[in-house]
Chain A
Amino acid sequence: NAGVTQTPKFRVLKTGQSMTLLCAQDMNHEYMYWYRQDPGMGLRLIHYSVGEGTTAKGEVPDGYNVSRLKKQNFLLGLESAAPSQTSVYFCASSYLIGGPAKNIQYFGAGTRLSVL
């Protein structure tokens, strides 16, 4: 099992360009997440999905869109990239177990994005 795979690993964009980050998981997890990590800011939740065809906003959703057309894939889109979106992006997937539920998240290796 590969776990959680993110593509691409690195990307450089010019301001105003668009791109899509792909996250794929082979663990049959119901839940998937996109985070951004900036120095001193921790992991901030952008959007998440609790199942195929569903999406929800996280802490910092502005400037991003997501889609979950297949259970194993979660796409993060930047329609018009801005320098403020320069960051490391992490995808994660999880399942809930027990009660109170444990949300155990497995992370991908990250995508380093620079917007010039």
Chain B
Amino acid sequence: GENVEQHPSTLSVQEGDSAVIKCTYSDSASNYFPWYKQELGKRPQLIIDIRSNVGEKKDQRIAVTLNKTAKHFSLHITETQPEDSAVYFCAAANQAGTALIFGKGTTLSVSS
């Protein structure tokens, strides 16, 4: 089955810096890769996603890149702000697209 590895597990940056979180997946048939943000004590929420037929996607200060050949994808956050502090999860869909397998999460801390 699908296996998703996520790095780093913790990341501390200064406000205004960029943050990058990387994930690798094992199933070459996976076609959908979302990122979820979970603030402390809250539920996970989708922040951005990418399909396998696209190499990069941007939404304001966040972007995701996908390298299908290498089976890895990354989340990029520019001009970080304290409200970006949260746990971020990457995920990959199973072959049928009916389920997501999540990475173990990255705790991002942005200090002002």
Task: Decide: A103 and B97 in contact? CB cutoff 8 A.
Answer: yes
Interface residues on B, range: 20 to 34
A57–chain B nearest beta-carbon distance, Å: 10
Task: Decide: B102 and A103 in contact? CB cutoff 8 A.
Answer: no
Task: Decide: A48 and B98 in contact? CB cutoff 8 A.
Answer: yes
Q: Which of A3-41 contact B (CB under 8 A)?
A: 31, 33, 35, 40-41
Chain B residues within an 8 Å CB radius of A109:
42-43
Binds B, one of A70-78, A79-87, A94-102: A94-102
| A102 to B34 CA separation, bound complex (whole angstroms) | 9
Q: Which of B2-42 contact A (CB under 8 A)?
A: 6, 9, 31-32, 34, 42
| A66 to B19 CA separation, bound complex (whole angstroms) | 39
Known A42-B89, A101-B93, A102-B32; judge A48-B43 contact (CB<8 A).
Answer: no
| A102 to B32 CA separation, bound complex (whole angstroms) | 6
Could you tell me how many residues of chain A have their Cβ less than 8 Å away from some Cβ of chain B?
A: 27
Interface of chain A, helix or strand or loop or mixed?
Answer: strand
Task: Decide: A48 and B9 in contact? CB cutoff 8 A.
Answer: no
Most buried by A among B44, B53, B99, B105: B99
Chain B residues within an 8 Å CB radius of A56:
98-99
Task: Decide: B53 and A100 in contact? CB cutoff 8 A.
Answer: yes
B-side interface residues toward A, CB under 8 Å? 1, 6, 9, 31-32, 34, 42-46, 49, 51-53, 89, 93, 97-105
- Considering the complex of A and B, which 10 residue pairs feature the smallest CB-CB distances, nearest first? A100-B31, A42-B104, A101-B97, A107-B43, A43-B102, A42-B105, A100-B51, A42-B102, A107-B44, A50-B98
A-side interface residues toward B, CB under 8 Å? 31, 33, 35, 40-45, 48, 50, 56, 58-59, 90, 96, 98, 100-105, 107-110
- A-B contact list, 7 entries, CB within 8 Å: A31-B98, A50-B98, A58-B99, A102-B49, A104-B46, A105-B100, A107-B44
